[in-house]
């Protein structure tokens, strides 16, 4: 299995009041790019896992486990939301769907 694709994991840090200055501090995005194997989930398997036929689900397989929080995933600069996340001992598998609202 080739891990020739690149995905970017994005975590949105919350802003708030800075106690030192007393000013509002904006939240920041933390991005992490990682090699992955990306495939489209077939229609039969999509119905089995998610119960809907009209979803286009992509499967992202990583070489090593990734346990950090992920708010959303960028694939070719297109935002995808995580529908299901499976952490195995040796790898992480993410099922993502394109975010049509963001």
Mean of pLDDT over the chain: 86
Residue 102 pLDDT more than 60?
no
Instruction: Quick: pLDDT tens for 30-79.
Output: 999 999 999 988 777 777 777 766 678 899 999 989 999 999 999 999 99
Element (H, E) at 10: strand 5-12
Using CA atoms, how far apart are residues 97 and 73, in angstroms rounded to an integer? 9
Using CA atoms, how far apart are residues 35 and 63, in angstroms rounded to an integer? 8
- Residue 14 is predicted with a pLDDT of 83
């Amino acid at each position: 299995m080739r891990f020739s694709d690149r995905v970017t994991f994005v975590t949105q840090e919350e802003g708030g009041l800075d106690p030192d200055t007393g000013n509002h501090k904006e939240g920041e995005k933390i991005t992490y790019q990682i090699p992955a194997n990306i495939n489209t989930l077939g229609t039969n398997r999509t119905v089995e896992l998610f119960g809907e036929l009209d979803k286009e689900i992509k499967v992202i397989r990583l070489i090593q486990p990734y346990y950090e929080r992920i708010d959303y995933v960028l694939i070719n600069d297109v935002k995808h939301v995580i529908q299901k996340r499976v952490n195995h001992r040796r790898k992480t598998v993410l099922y993502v769907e394109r975010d049509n609202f963001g």
